[in-house]
Amino acid sequence: MIFSRSEWLACKWEYRGEEAKQKAKEAKQKAKEAKQKENESEEAKQEANEAKEAKQRTNAAKQKEWEEKQNALEAKQKAKNAKLKAKEAKQLEWEAKQKEKRREALAKAKAKVKELKNKVRKLKQKEIEREAWEKAKAKGMTKPHYKFYYWNWNSNMPRGY
């Protein structure tokens, strides 16, 4: 087939038009694919962000749980310390009571010793008086005379004579 120049040019432009259409179609397809890939990458980014947020929430929950555990441990330690302090206070109170009991027992013992010393002193005094009366009786003194003499003698003389 032989074409004239104008036919040939028309065919050429038609062919080029189809080629351009084909290229435009391909470009459109590529743009569509690029847009689809961009959407997919956006979705992937979104999923990555969601995963990151989920991880942050998980970490925050773990942190909160750890803090609660620490608070529980601190409360337990405080309770233990309070219990020890109460026990120590009870021990100190018991020791104070024991000291008070010892102090009271010592005071009673001192009072008893004083009382016994007074009794011993009185008994010695009575013994001395008895011996003096025996001596006076041996000399032939009467009771009233002896009492008068003994009273005067005791009041004027220092003790022990």
In order of 29, 37, 45, 51, 105, the CA distances from 40 in angstroms are 16, 5, 8, 16, 96
Q: Contact at 8 Å (CB) between 153 and 143?
A: no
Q: Considering only CA atoms, which of 151, 149, 127 is closest in space to residue 140?
A: 149
* pLDDT per residue as tens, the chain (161 positions): 566 777 766 666 666 667 777 877 888 899 999 999 999 999 999 999 999 999 999 999 999 999 999 999 999 999 999 999 999 999 999 999 999 999 999 999 999 999 999 999 999 988 988 888 888 888 888 777 777 766 665 555 555 54
Q: Report the alpha-carbon distance of residue 48 to residue 46 in Å, rounded.
A: 5
Q: Considering only CA atoms, which of 136, 126, 160, 158 is closest in space to residue 150?
A: 136
Query: What is the pLDDT, as a whole number, of residue 160?
Result: 53
Q: Give the residue ranges of DSSP H helices in the chain.
A: 5-139, 143-156
Global pTM? 0.41
Q: At residue 9, what are phi and psi to the nearest 5 degrees?
A: -65, -40
Query: What is the pLDDT, as a whole number, of residue 49?
Result: 96
Structure tokens at 85: 């302090």
Query: What is the pLDDT, as a whole number, of residue 161?
Result: 45
Say which DSSP state 3 is in: -
